[in-house]
Amino acid sequence: MTATLEIRNLHARVEGAETEILRGVNLTIRAGEIHALMGPNGSGKSTLANVLMGNPTYEVLEGEILFNGESVLEMEPDERSRAGLFLAFQYPVAIPGVTLANFLRHAINARMKAKDPDSKGISIPEFTKLMRQKMQMLGIDSTFAGRYLNDGFSGGEKKRAEVLQMAVLEPQMVILDETDSGLDIDALRIVAEGVNKLMNDQMGALVITHYQRLLNHIKPHFVHVMFAGRIVESGGPELALQLEEQGYERFRTKHLAAIEAN
């Protein structure tokens, strides 16, 4: 079965807060498709990514998130991840004393054990082979796996570690959120090239970005504009180019009533 992520009439807010941030999001992503989610700062893009992964800061008030037909709303973040959802920028913390290789082996073993409690996990030779193969494909230096996770990693190295994680865990659906602070151009390129290499017809992607520039490196099949907590327009790649030229002003005018009601 090919993977599908379905977001239906999703309403969410910060736990206990009054105002809704997501105000009825609808979006379906199928394996083989790259969707770009654009929109001005504060429109709710990162909130959507967080709600998809089950960040407990946010509460869902209404609507559904279905992954392969099953609701993920009651799943913990690690269950969602084991089910095949992957949120990049998910592990920004440094874990001193744990190498990237150890971390990845542990993640693989956790998955294997979740599927089969009797599993002994991946053998060292098998794991070594897998890592070598993935790192070669991604053009990552072999010494990189021996580094302590995120300890003194540059921005680019953090991205490289995430892309490697993606390659090893083979998620069915990846959600990439370009943080507001903005990645430097190198880091952005690493992520984009990684996604391009890993993308296949068994994997779907939601690429969240404020700027068009990420889309110079990743070619989306669909582009959506988020505004005041809703997707207000969807189209093909040409929509991203149009936004690059015209900015978000026309959405501001068109959806003023919705913004004021918020």
User: By the criterion CB under 6 A, which residues form the site for ligand ADP?
Assistant: 14, 21, 39, 41-47, 57, 180
Measured from the CB atom, is 7 or 104 closer to ligand ADP?
7
* 128-167 positions binding Mg ion, by CB under 5 A: none
Select from Mg ion, ligand ADP, none the partner in contact with residue 39, using the beta carbon and a kind-dependent cut-off of 5 to 8 Å.
ligand ADP
* 172-191 positions binding Mg ion, by CB under 5 A: 180
Q: At closest approach, how far in Å is the CB of 92 from ligand ADP?
A: 15
If phi > 0 it is left, if psi is from -120 to 50 it is alpha, else beta; for residue 133 that is: alpha
Q: At closest approach, how far in Å is the CB of 46 from Mg ion?
A: 3
Select from Mg ion, ligand ADP, none the partner in contact with residue 43, using the beta carbon and a kind-dependent cut-off of 5 to 8 Å.
ligand ADP
Measured from the CB atom, is 62 or 70 closer to ligand ADP?
62
Tell me the site size for Mg ion, rule CB under 5 A. Answer: 3
Measured from the CB atom, is 44 or 171 closer to Mg ion?
44
3-state secondary structure of 148: strand
Q: Contact 219/15 with Cβ under 8 angstroms?
A: no
3-state secondary structure of 24: strand
User: Could you tell me the two tokens for 192?
Assistant: 């984009």
Contact between 46 and Mg ion per CB under 5 A = yes
Measured from the CB atom, is 36 or 203 closer to ligand ADP?
36
Cβ-closest residue to Mg ion? Answer: 46
Question: Which residues are registered as beta bridge partners of 27?
Answer: 7
Query: How many Cβ atoms from other residues are within 10 Å of residue 11's Cβ?
Result: 18
Instruction: Give the integer Cα–Cα distance in Å for 16 and 18.
Output: 7
Instruction: Give the integer Cα–Cα distance in Å for 54 and 46.
Output: 12
Contact between 43 and Mg ion per CB under 5 A = no
Instruction: Give the integer Cα–Cα distance in Å for 65 and 7.
Output: 5
Q: At closest approach, how far in Å is the CB of 37 from Mg ion?
A: 10
If phi > 0 it is left, if psi is from -120 to 50 it is alpha, else beta; for residue 141 that is: beta
Binding residues (CB under 5 A) for Mg ion: these are: 45-46, 180
